[in-house]
């Protein structure tokens, strides 16, 4: 069984003050990764953008929507190499590292989903750590929308993977992992998004139905009238929505800050929000 699926958001990998990669975060995460863990990482497009600016002293041009999409593709293709370089630099040298670039089709097509599941599970037995990201560099936005709509029209339940929170949750579902860890730039789920003192340490229930009702209740209280902090971010509301399927499988979900080590978070000695059945944490 896969012990942990983890995910980190783009902005948690960026040092906002220096406008550069936060190498300390990369090192802290990488040194905790081990076989039996599957890691979903955002950040390719933003890291590629920062690297392009550093090397070219300018951003890519274009204000039109098509230009913005093309720029994201170009930044992502540049950033993918840097993502893997930084993980490889700090992961234990005795472990193998494998990159998986996924798209919505890998979850909506049962055969492709099964191939992906087997490959990720093989990695654990082969002393390897999978690093997963959405394949922005070759993802055509219009084609993706048409494919998604076609699946919806056929009445199927559809995975869109518009956000890596959703991607991580789907990976957790196909692997039926013990824990799903979502690292963010804040300490967990707050009742008041502007007040860290309102962190919710635990969301639990005695049955799956109880648990999901409690998640919905917290989601309603936290998201009333609030929007994600930046375009493309799912925010607390999106996270709470995406994690429902892993919770149904018995996975415990932990939402915590990337400023703490994975080992300390899993031991429960850092601020965090832990979500799952019959939790006993305070």
DSSP calls for the chain: ---EEEEE-GGGGEETTTTEE-HHHHHHHHTT--TTEEEEE--HHHHHHHHHHHHHSSPPP--SHHHHHHHHHHHHHHHHHHHHHHHHHHS-TTSEEEEEEE-THHHHSHHHHHHHHHHHHHHHHTTEEEEEEE-GGG--HHHHHHHHHHHHHTT------SSHHHHHHHHHHHHT-SEEEEEESSSS-BSSTT-GGGB--EEEESSHHHHHHHHHHHHHHHHTT---SSTT--HHHHHHHHTHHHHHTT-EEEEEETTS-HHHHHHT-SSEEEEEET----
Candidates 3.10.180.10, 3.40.50.1820, 3.40.1160.10, 3.40.50.720; CATH matching 4-277: 3.40.1160.10
Section 247-271 average pLDDT = 96
pLDDT tens sequence across 188-239: 999 888 899 999 999 999 999 999 999 999 998 877 655 544 444 457 888 9
pLDDT tens sequence across 135-170: 877 765 555 555 555 556 566 666 666 688 989 999
pLDDT tens sequence across 15-27: 888 888 999 999 9
Section 85-95 average pLDDT = 96
Residue 109: pLDDT above 60?
yes
Query: How distant, in Å, are the alpha carbons of 25, 46, 99, 230 from that of 14?
Result: 9, 8, 21, 14
Q: Where are the domains of the chain?
A: 4-277
Percent of the chain with pLDDT over 90: 66
């Amino acid at each position: 069984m896969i012990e942990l699926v983890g995910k980190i958001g783009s902005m948690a990998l960026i040092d906002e003050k220096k406008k550069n990669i936060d190498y300390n975060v990369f090192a802290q995460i990488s040194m905790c990764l081990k076989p039996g863990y599957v890691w979903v990482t955002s950040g390719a497009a933003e890291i590629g953008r920062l690297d392009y600016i550093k090397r070219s002293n300018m951003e890519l041009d274009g204000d039109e929507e098509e230009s913005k999409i093309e720029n994201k593709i170009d930044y992502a293709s540049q950033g993918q190499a840097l993502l893997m370089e930084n993980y490889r630099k700090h992961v234990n040298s005795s472990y193998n590292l494998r990159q998986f670039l996924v798209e919505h089709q890998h979850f909506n097509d049962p055969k492709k989903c099964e191939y992906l599941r087997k490959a990720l599970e093989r990695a654990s037995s082969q002393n390897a750590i999978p690093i997963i990201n959405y394949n922005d560099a070759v993802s055509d936005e219009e084609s993706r929308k048409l494919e998604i709509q076609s699946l919806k029209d056929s009445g199927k339940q559809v995975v869109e993977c518009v956000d890596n929170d959703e991607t991580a949750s789907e990976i957790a579902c196909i692997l039926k992992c013990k824990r799903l860890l979502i690292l963010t730039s804040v300490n967990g789920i707050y009742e008041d998004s502007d007040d860290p003192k309102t962190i919710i340490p635990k969301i639990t229930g005695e049955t799956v139905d109880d648990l999901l009702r409690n998640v919905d209740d917290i989601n309603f209280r936290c998201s009333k009238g609030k929007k994600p902090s930046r375009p493309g971010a799912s925010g607390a509301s999106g996270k709470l929505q995406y994690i429902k399927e892993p919770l149904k499988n018995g996975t415990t979900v932990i939402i915590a800050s990337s400023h703490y080590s994975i080992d300390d978070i899993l031991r429960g000695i850092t601020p965090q929000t832990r979500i799952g059945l019959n939790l006993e944490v305070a």
